[in-house]
Structure 1
Amino acid sequence: MGRYAILFVVTLLILFATGCGKKQVSAPPAQNVLRYALTTEPTTFDPALVRDGPTIDMLFHVFEGLVQWDENNRLRPNLAERWSISNGGRTYTFTLKKGVKFHNGREVTAEDFKYSIERACDPELASPVSATYLNDIVGALDKLNRKAKEVKGVEVVDRYTLRITIDHPKAYFLAKLTYPTAYVVCREAIEQNGDEVNGRRLRINERCAIGTGPFRISQYIPGSKVVLTANKEYHAGAPKLDGIERPIVLDASTRHAMYERGDLDIVDVQKGDLLRDRQDPVLSKELHTFDRAAVFYLGLNQNVFPPFKDRRVRLALAYATDKDAIVKVALMGVPQKANGIIPPGVLGHDPDFKGIPYDPEKARQLLAEAGYPGGKGFPTLTLTFREKTPDLRRTAEMIKEQYRKQLGINVELREMEWGAFLDALDRKELPFIHLRWAADYLDAQNFLSVMLHTGAPENVVGYSNPRFDALCDQADKEQDEQKRVQLYREAERIAVTEDVPWITLYFQRDVELIKPYVKGIRDSLMGHLPHVTTTIER
């Protein structure tokens, strides 16, 4: 064999051995452990403090509440085996499931739920979400505002009976109890190992994250991974997995490469990778799509950016936004264009609502009427979004170009670390944001009243309209479902077509690669459900 022939064969062998750097592996891992990445560093281990989807996805394997979602997007019992509603819809009496144990072996009682809700409402804990998700309970806001020492509406009837009274009948209240603020936590674990707040051990960290869930936290290495170990004594039956490993991988391309190497079993697919994945003979068979009850939008902060105080400016940006082009070009045609705020599958969604059409001529006219003809004199606008998320970057770049071309406006793009982004949102200091709101429960109240009502904690854009507020207030308390829907839809029209605090872009549709040996994943419109039935087939 000649020298060049030998060199050619050696080269082929090297390429074969390395897989050209991206070897696609579909064999199951040696251990019975599901591996999928956390796309951010966990923002907290405390269910009373959590407010972001990636961290919630980790924590709801560890902690649980009275009720839970199933694969049909319906509420069903969890730690409460049943409940009754009385007092004209204001009082909920829960009978707890007996024999449920925390990870430390102690049985859960009604006292634990009272402690958990009152801890979440402790003003010293400074929860950013309790005023949103527990505010309906009588006395919750009083405790949060230091006007009371306990939450009056939470009563222990006996060891296995809990009574919760709310301020008004509200059709969505039971669903709110699926949010982590209502999860039961272990008092003695917190008082022994929790982080101190003003001299009291009050905040949950990874050492005292003791819940009742199907998995427990066994390891946390900051910047590296979170490891969950199966709770073999789980009250609903031991999970089929031995554990879940969550490497912390912020970069989407790195996650995708890890999946191809066989280091991950599930990975999110950014749209920039989708065409190649669809053409790949192996990966194309492992692609899955999931509709989500979530909307991506642009938020226009009227309190920080003075031009946004003029409704004509906000309308101009809305008319200059070509959503069809964004969905087709930036997002490969995967998601559905969002004409309104309320996603499909959420009570109140109107499939016939057309929103604001793309009309650049009208956009230019409105901007000129507001005193900025051709964009002259309009200050540079900074659009902020989460870092290391290519789909958001691609969308933001198209927004920047559309506004430059159609309006003569200069938009600067700013990627921000996720935790810092959330903190800045809390301070309501960002003028222009590209963000997602995902359903915590499938009700229009979670999108309209929670996000845009005057004074609502999640209203980070300074929106206020008494007409909108009145419609939401009435709908929140209305017991007739059809009337509720009509009221919410009227409020949505005001926000979308008249006031424009948000410019909605698209409704979320996830694309994931899932190894063929991963079976039994349960899914809902809110996302994958805890992995109690998931298996690794060998």
Structure 2
Amino acid sequence: MDDNGQHSTRRQFLKTAAGAGSAMAIAGCAGSNEGGGSGNGSTNATGGETTGTDAGTTEQGDGGGGGGSATLDLINSTMSSLDPVGASDTASGWVTSQVFDGLMTYPDGAIPVEPVIAEGYETSDDYRTYTFTLKEGVTFHDGSEVTAQDFVYSYERLAGSDNSQQKADILSAINVVHETTGEGAYEPGSLAVEAVDDYTFQMEISEPFAPTLQVLSNNQFAAVPEGIVGDIEGYDGEMSYEEFATSNPIGAGPFQFEVWEQGTQASVTAYDDYHGSAPDIDGVHWQIIEDSNAMYNYAMNENADAFEIPTSKFDPSKLSVEGTDDKGRKRGTYGPLRNGKQADYIGVPTLSVYYMGFNMEAVEKPVRQAVAYALNQQTVVEQVFKDRGVPAYHYTTPSIYPGGAEAYTQHAEENYPYGYNETQLDEARRVMEEAGYSQSDPYELEFLIYDSKTWMQTAQLLRDQLQSAHVELSITRSPFSAMLSRVENMDMEMYSLAWIVPWAAPDAFVKHLNPAKSGPEADTFEAYNNWPTDTETAQRAIDAWNRITENRDPSDESENVRAEAAVTMEEANWEAVANLPVYHEIEERFSYQNVEIPPYGSGGAYKQKLNDATMN
């Protein structure tokens, strides 16, 4: 968020942060997307007003029920690449989702994943070998048939190409068997993937990993024609990398590439020979707009069929929610819009948690408890985010929590120790006074936040509450990169951050509640807490995480072990007050009533293929 309070979308942040690979959790997502309802994959911004651009005054086009061709008009933000292994941002991913297919897919961005180019698959008894049978007759957009050898080439590119931004997904997350050089880099050609025959593809992983099929559904695992570019050993390439990544990407998805003008627009058209459900629309056009006010004006001028609404323009009284399904998705209508039209609405809880974290070596436990007692998550969601989020009492989101949303709520209502949907200032004062603090001798606590109007409002609410609990909270606002540097160096007391996780399972969240990975002595950071490991609570959390890592296979028995251990880690985090959950983001989409787009899932709208969208 900039100094004007402008929100960026989740997609924009991922452009800078997701290079570590989608199979790794991303720190600081709240640094660019918070405010609820942002990042639904259809626009670029959801925050305060800024000066409009020419795009904000465009005359009515073919979108918004204005007639014209059956092209779905959307709004996107700046893209980086059309190469599946080179695109590390969700803006690019929204386009590559349409152009490329892999073995598996998120159906409408939802869980569970399903085969797409694969006809079926088998796993070995030890869950380490995956054998996929491919559909016959699937063609790339250049007319060539997709075979198992194309997947061997595509996975080798993901692991070994200098253009790959997602190597960790295949080499670390799934951990396909491979060799490394003396410097620890991937040894070209050593990946344990094989074309058994034209329509049988086999892959061996180092150890069982239950989310394997989910990770394989991400765009970077898509099929590209063997030898299309020569950026790995043994291939000269049929075209230059620049051509493939910017002006001639060839995939096997429901739409084929038409045009990308950087910073202006991108388009795809229906692929008539698609092997799946053929598109009902002629194509998809994205106008690239970075300014939130211009984006809103563009949508209100009916140039976009589906869009987001900036928080500054959002009026909760205009939202009518007709129901919530078993995935926690809210459906309804919004309006009247500024132009008098009524919009269809969907709000989908994302795989995210926005939280306040503590340097536990620097901040006494009674102080951390006082902050927890003072925080009312429901108030923050209502007053700051206009109900465009879900109050967070666990790290894990409701749809992924063991037992689902109902179990999430029940466990929090019955067990959350700091007041469920309420502020307990008497308890905050009690723990501080027992620790020796008073109104005349308060505890001084620095709250480090990034440039964010909404986090500033949240911090101010908390500061006002804590004054009566003998805590003098000072707020330091910093550019996100500078703030993250302080956090990584443990040069902070209390801070604001978020994680957006890459697969839909509790362990993807609670891995960030592992005390053994929370300080400078850890080989890799999973959290920024400096959580002392010599306490009973910390050992309970560490033991629970070890049970998760020892039971990684997809069997029901192991899944139950992981679920129970995840709840143990959530409760340990409550007891220690390492991280204080604040809210889970709701990703929203508004659409004019001339277009029907199936509801998307928790994976996000940018993972949704649009071949089932229809237009009147």
Q: TM-score range by the shorter chain?
A: 0.7 to 0.9
Alpha-carbon displacement from aligned partner over 1:38-77 (angstroms, at most 9, x marks no partner) = 2x32244343354544443332112222111235733221
Q: Secondary structure at the match of 1:346?
A: coil
Task: Choose which of 440, 446, 463 in structure 2 pairs with 1:403.
Answer: 463
Paired letter, 1:446: A
Q: Shift of the alpha carbon at 1:508?
A: 2.7
Q: Secondary structure at the match of 1:48?
A: coil
Which whole-Å CA distance do the structure 2 matches of 1:394 and 1:205 have between them? Answer: 37
- Kept in 2, the 8 Å contact 1:130–1:181? The answer is no
Alignment of 1:469-508 (within 5 A): 469-477=545-553, 479=555, 480=557, 481-500=559-578, 502-508=579-585
Which whole-Å CA distance do the structure 1 matches of 2:215 and 2:351 have between them? Answer: 16
Alpha-carbon displacement from aligned partner over 1:138-157 (angstroms, at most 9, x marks no partner) = 42584793263334432221
In the other structure, the counterpart of 1:41 is: 78
In the other structure, the counterpart of 1:16 is: none
- Kept in 1, the 8 Å contact 2:373–2:425? The answer is yes
In the other structure, the counterpart of 1:161 is: 200
Paired letter, 1:498: A
Alpha-carbon displacement from aligned partner over 1:251-296 (angstroms, at most 9, x marks no partner) = 3333222211111111112343332744843567314122223233
Instruction: Pick which of 55-64 and 145-154 moved more.
Output: 145-154
Q: Secondary structure at the match of 2:580?
A: strand
Q: CA RMSD in A?
A: 4.1
In the other structure, the counterpart of 1:293 is: 350
- Counterparts in 2 of 1:445 and 1:335: CA distance versus 1, 3 Å: same
- Counterparts in 2 of 1:318 and 1:48: CA distance versus 1, 3 Å: farther
Which whole-Å CA distance do the structure 2 matches of 1:135 and 1:257 have between them? Answer: 42
Q: Secondary structure at the match of 1:296?
A: strand
In the other structure, the counterpart of 2:611 is: 532
In the other structure, the counterpart of 2:185 is: 146
Task: Choose which of 202, 206, 210 in structure 1 pairs with 2:246.
Answer: 206
Instruction: Pick which of 74-83 and 108-117 moved more.
Output: 108-117
Q: Secondary structure at the match of 1:130?
A: helix
Q: Shift of the alpha carbon at 1:371?
A: 9.9
Q: Secondary structure at the match of 1:181?
A: helix
**Structure 1 runs not aligned, ≥5 long:** 1-19, 194-199, 386-391
In the other structure, the counterpart of 2:149 is: 111
Q: Shift of the alpha carbon at 1:515?
A: 0.6
Which whole-Å CA distance do the structure 1 matches of 2:103 and 2:609 have between them? Answer: 15
Q: Shift of the alpha carbon at 1:174?
A: 1.7
In the other structure, the counterpart of 1:254 is: 294
Paired letter, 1:343: T
Q: Shift of the alpha carbon at 1:514?
A: 0.5
Q: Say whether residues 1:393 and 2:453 are aligned partners.
A: yes
Q: Say whether residues 1:328 and 2:382 are aligned partners.
A: yes
- Kept in 2, the 8 Å contact 1:522–1:533? The answer is no
- Counterparts in 2 of 1:108 and 1:395: CA distance versus 1, 3 Å: same
- Counterparts in 2 of 1:422 and 1:58: CA distance versus 1, 3 Å: farther
- Kept in 1, the 8 Å contact 2:513–2:569? The answer is no
Which whole-Å CA distance do the structure 1 matches of 2:146 and 2:345 have between them? Answer: 38
Alpha-carbon displacement from aligned partner over 1:63-92 (angstroms, at most 9, x marks no partner) = 222111235733221111111111322211
Q: TM-score, normalised by structure 2?
A: 0.69
- Kept in 2, the 8 Å contact 1:468–1:495? The answer is no
In the other structure, the counterpart of 1:189 is: 228
Task: Choose which of 467, 485, 488 in structure 1 pairs with 2:543.
Answer: 467
- Counterparts in 2 of 1:265 and 1:128: CA distance versus 1, 3 Å: same
Q: Secondary structure at the match of 1:89?
A: coil
Q: Secondary structure at the match of 2:75?
A: coil
- Kept in 2, the 8 Å contact 1:438–1:526? The answer is no
Paired letter, 1:173: T
Alpha-carbon displacement from aligned partner over 1:209-245 (angstroms, at most 9, x marks no partner) = 3322222333222322222233233221432222212
Q: Secondary structure at the match of 1:244?
A: strand
Q: Secondary structure at the match of 1:37?
A: strand
Q: Shift of the alpha carbon at 1:131?
A: 4.5
Alignment of 1:58-97 (within 5 A): 58-70=95-107, 73-97=111-135
Instruction: Pick which of 278-287 and 265-274 moved more.
Output: 278-287
Q: Shift of the alpha carbon at 1:178?
A: 1.2
- Kept in 2, the 8 Å contact 1:478–1:484? The answer is no
Paired letter, 1:154: V
Q: Say whether residues 1:227 and 2:293 are aligned partners.
A: no
Task: Choose which of 136, 153, 170 in structure 1 pairs with 2:174.
Answer: 136
Which whole-Å CA distance do the structure 1 matches of 2:106 and 2:356 have between them? Answer: 29
Which whole-Å CA distance do the structure 2 matches of 1:414 and 1:449 have between them? Answer: 27
Which whole-Å CA distance do the structure 1 matches of 2:434 and 2:341 have between them? Answer: 51
Paired letter, 1:511: E
- Kept in 2, the 8 Å contact 1:521–1:534? The answer is yes
Q: TM-score, normalised by structure 1?
A: 0.78
In the other structure, the counterpart of 1:56 is: 93
Which whole-Å CA distance do the structure 2 matches of 1:456 and 1:132 have between them? Answer: 20
In the other structure, the counterpart of 2:598 is: 521
Q: Shift of the alpha carbon at 1:395?
A: 4.4
Q: Secondary structure at the match of 1:250?
A: coil
- Counterparts in 2 of 1:371 and 1:523: CA distance versus 1, 3 Å: same
In the other structure, the counterpart of 2:449 is: 383
Paired letter, 1:290: G
- Kept in 2, the 8 Å contact 1:225–1:248? The answer is yes
> Structure 1 vs Structure 2: percent identity of aligned residues?
18
Alignment of 1:301-316 (within 5 A): 302=359, 307=362, 314-316=368-370
- Counterparts in 2 of 1:74 and 1:138: CA distance versus 1, 3 Å: closer
- Counterparts in 2 of 1:426 and 1:394: CA distance versus 1, 3 Å: closer
- Kept in 1, the 8 Å contact 2:253–2:274? The answer is yes
Which whole-Å CA distance do the structure 2 matches of 1:242 and 1:117 have between them? Answer: 31
- Counterparts in 2 of 1:323 and 1:221: CA distance versus 1, 3 Å: same
**Structure 2 runs not aligned, ≥5 long:** 1-56, 233-238, 320-333, 532-537
- Counterparts in 2 of 1:527 and 1:62: CA distance versus 1, 3 Å: same
Q: Say whether residues 1:445 and 2:492 are aligned partners.
A: no
- Counterparts in 2 of 1:178 and 1:371: CA distance versus 1, 3 Å: farther
- Kept in 2, the 8 Å contact 1:225–1:246? The answer is yes
Give the aligned length.
Answer: 498
- Counterparts in 2 of 1:243 and 1:26: CA distance versus 1, 3 Å: closer
- Counterparts in 2 of 1:371 and 1:341: CA distance versus 1, 3 Å: same
- Counterparts in 2 of 1:299 and 1:184: CA distance versus 1, 3 Å: farther
- Counterparts in 2 of 1:295 and 1:513: CA distance versus 1, 3 Å: same
Q: Say whether residues 1:273 and 2:313 are aligned partners.
A: yes
In the other structure, the counterpart of 2:19 is: none
- Kept in 1, the 8 Å contact 2:353–2:499? The answer is yes
Instruction: Pick which of 524-533 and 357-366 moved more.
Output: 357-366
Q: Secondary structure at the match of 1:449?
A: helix
Alpha-carbon displacement from aligned partner over 1:82-139 (angstroms, at most 9, x marks no partner) = 1111132221100112222223333222222222222222284563562478533342
Alpha-carbon displacement from aligned partner over 1:414-440 (angstroms, at most 9, x marks no partner) = 465xxx799979988996765554454
